[in-house]
Amino acid sequence: MVVRIEPSILSADFASFAREIERIPSADLVHCDVMDNHFVPNLTFGLPMVQRLAQVSALPLDVHLMIDDPDRWAPGYAEAGAHTVTFHAEAAQDPVATARAIRRAGARAGIALKPATDAGPYLASLGEFDQVLVMTVEPGFGGQSFRSELMDKVREVRAAIGDRDVWLQVDGGIAADTIGTAAAAGADTFVAGSAVFGADDPDAAVQRLRALAQA
């Protein structure tokens, strides 16, 4: 199984994003959490910051939109240089149309599911997406504890993906003691925040997480 590790810049030093990204050369992508203080009760940054990050980052960006009305805003993040744009099923009026618009704008399209959201209604449309993100915490804040009961949903999505080229991502509480559980359930793409940027050597933390997931 191909394992991808995505450190979340939400846990990095906001005053030194470019330097922080340089500390994780072994990472596969950089995870960027965009929050609007409406869909989730937190506010981070928006399109201009992502556009600038795309200009200075040696790693591709996976933008996770925790915002209202992604149908309107998501394609702009693809145009800004994001490699992947993931939006929430709960906020989209037409997830398939939004995914197609993201792809037309030049990025991979991902759909995210909050812990209480049933994956079932979206499984028939998996061919429209490049990534499914199963949230293992409530979106909005970093540092929450991993919820192992959500591994049933991860297994359900993995079974539905089959041999399609769709990444199965998990986000929330991913650390050395939880990544193996998520990998065993079928996840292949892992978002880790404090487990990486809270370490003395963030790149060594990336490598350790990858090894644990592969094991």
pLDDT digits 0-9 by tens, 153-188: 999 999 999 999 999 999 989 999 999 999 999 999
State residue 142's pLDDT score.
Answer: 60
Q: Are 37 and 7 in contact (CB under 8 A)?
A: no
Per-residue pLDDT tens digits for 33-70: 999 998 888 889 899 999 999 999 999 999 999 999 99
Task: Identify the CA nearest to 4 among candidates 177, 165, 199.
Answer: 165
118 carries an active-site annotation: no
Query: Which pLDDT score is estimated for 143?
Result: 63
Distance from C-alpha of 63 to C-alpha of 34, rounded to nearest angstrom = 7
pLDDT band at 138 (very low <50, low <70, confident <90, very high): confident
For residue 117, the Cα-to-chain-centroid distance in whole angstroms is 16
Domain 4-214, architecture per CATH:
Alpha-Beta Barrel (3.20)
Q: Given 28, 33, 36, 62, which residue is catalytic?
A: 33
Mean pLDDT of 196-213: 97
Q: How much is the pLDDT for 41?
A: 81
**Sign of the CA dihedral 120, 122, 125, 126?**
negative
Percent of the chain with pLDDT over 90: 85
Residue 97 has pLDDT above 80, yes or no: yes
CA atoms of 57 and 76, how far apart (whole Å): 18
Q: Which entry of 62, 130, 171, 188 is annotated as an active-site residue?
A: 171
Looking at residues 4-26, what average pLDDT do you find? Answer: 93
Report the pLDDT averaged over residues 64-77: 97
Please give the Cα distance from 36 to 41 (Å, whole number): 8
Active site residue 171: yes
Q: What is the mean pLDDT of residues 124-134?
A: 96
Confidence of residue 148 (pLDDT cuts 50, 70, 90): confident
